[in-house]
Homo-oligomer: A and B are copies of this chain.
Amino acid sequence: MSRFKHLISIDDLTKEDIDYLLSKADSFLPIAEEKRKLKILEGKILANLFFEPSTRTRMSFETAMRRLGGDVINMTSQEASIVKGETLADTIRVVSKYVDVIVIRHSLEGAARFAAENSDVPIINAGDGAGQHPTQTLLDLYTLKRESKLDGVKIALVGDLKYSRTVHSLVKALMLYKAKIYLVCPDSLMLPEELLEEVRAERVEIEDAISEVDALYVTRIQKERFPDEEEYKKVAGSYTITSSLLENAKEDLIIMHPLPRVDEIAVEVDNSKHAIYFKQAFYGVPVRMAILSEVIEWKRD
């Protein structure tokens, strides 16, 4: 029996749920690494309803489903724009009668939960606007578990801590693991007040973080957030991770990034032992295999 039907928000999961999913991901890791195919979801169909495009997330869900032996149906972008003419509820009601599980990405916060209310089959939230993106958080946690540690991890969040959906979800989940959080950001991109209150966090300079922490979690600083381009350049530049900045890094520091990156991490860093952001993207496959097999299991019972 499965622990849950839908995966809408990381907040819906207990620490036990998360631990369970991460150890399930462990069991799928060799399949994803050796690029083999199982038959456990043979005959099952996943529908990707991406109202907003996302290469990495969609392709890793599609890879995960196929490695489990299942089929995938994608809504095309042209179809997505047409579907907007009808209510999301109607679309979900119909598609949920065709397939076994739906992965949805939508520009509106709350869209995934609304979809779940209208669906016969499990809904997995692959990002709903400013809302949640729980499978990203789970793969972030899995990366920490595999490449560093989760319990009591010292992690610095770098860049845009104000608007980054990824950061907000991760911070909440890290609380479950008694992580120590370091905040590295300009004043204008500070973590929202309500999160700051919940969190065991300390604000530091990037240099101090690098010599102290187990993990750097770097995010993109978006130009649109700054009224003045000069101001943007000054800020963005001061958080760029370079080889020289890493000279004082802890031996086993890992550098994470949800990707895509622009220039927050210099290309020269890619070949350092610290760089694990591409591996992090890869971990999306075993984590999504765990999630898909879990929610579809629910349906069967």
Residue positions of A touching B, CB distance < 8 A: 35-37, 42-45, 47, 53-56, 58-60, 62-63, 66-67, 71-79, 82-83, 85-86, 89-91, 93-95, 97-100, 259-262, 267, 278-279, 281-282, 285
What CA separation (Å) do A44 and B34 show in the bound complex?
Answer: 10
**Are the CB atoms of B260 and A59 closer together than 8 Å?**
no
Least Cβ–Cβ distance between A199 and chain B, in angstroms:
30
What CA separation (Å) do A224 and B100 show in the bound complex?
Answer: 37
What CA separation (Å) do A43 and B86 show in the bound complex?
Answer: 35
Copy tally for this chain in the complex stands at: 3
Given the contacts A86-B259, A261-B86, A278-B97, A77 and B75 also touching, CB distance less than 8 Å: no
**Are the CB atoms of A282 and B76 closer together than 8 Å?**
no
Least Cβ–Cβ distance between A284 and chain B, in angstroms:
8
Which residues of chain B are within 8 angstroms of A78 by Cβ–Cβ distance? Answer: 53, 77
**Are the CB atoms of B75 and A55 closer together than 8 Å?**
yes
**Are the CB atoms of A262 and B59 closer together than 8 Å?**
no
Closest 9 CB pairs of A and B: A37-B43, A86-B260, A77-B78, A97-B282, A63-B98, A53-B78, A55-B79, A94-B281, A53-B79
**Are the CB atoms of B83 and A55 closer together than 8 Å?**
yes
What CA separation (Å) do A287 and B266 show in the bound complex?
Answer: 41
Least Cβ–Cβ distance between A192 and chain B, in angstroms:
26
What CA separation (Å) do A72 and B282 show in the bound complex?
Answer: 18
Least Cβ–Cβ distance between A267 and chain B, in angstroms:
8
Least Cβ–Cβ distance between A244 and chain B, in angstroms:
22
**Are the CB atoms of B95 and A59 closer together than 8 Å?**
yes
**Are the CB atoms of A60 and B90 closer together than 8 Å?**
no
What CA separation (Å) do A76 and B282 show in the bound complex?
Answer: 20
Which residues of chain B are within 8 angstroms of A63 by Cβ–Cβ distance? Answer: 45, 73, 98-99
Which residues of chain B are within 8 angstroms of A58 by Cβ–Cβ distance? Answer: 79
Which residues of chain B are within 8 angstroms of A74 by Cβ–Cβ distance? Answer: 74, 76
Q: Contact check: which of B66, B98, B261 meets A71 at CB < 8 Å?
A: B66
Which residues of chain B are within 8 angstroms of A42 by Cβ–Cβ distance? Answer: 37
Given the contacts A75-B55, A79-B54, A262-B85, A93 and B60 also touching, CB distance less than 8 Å: no
**Are the CB atoms of B100 and A35 closer together than 8 Å?**
yes
Q: Contact check: which of B86, B98, B100 meets A282 at CB < 8 Å?
A: B98
What CA separation (Å) do A60 and B37 show in the bound complex?
Answer: 23
**Are the CB atoms of A94 and B282 closer together than 8 Å?**
yes
- Nearest neighbor of A260 in chain B, beta-carbon distance: B86
**Are the CB atoms of B47 and A59 closer together than 8 Å?**
yes
**Are the CB atoms of B259 and A94 closer together than 8 Å?**
yes
What CA separation (Å) do A259 and B74 show in the bound complex?
Answer: 20
Which residues of chain B are within 8 angstroms of A98 by Cβ–Cβ distance? Answer: 59-60, 63, 282, 285
Which residues of chain B are within 8 angstroms of A35 by Cβ–Cβ distance? Answer: 43-45, 99-100
Interface pairs (8), CB distance under 8 Å? A55-B79, A72-B73, A83-B260, A85-B262, A90-B259, A90-B261, A94-B281, A94-B282
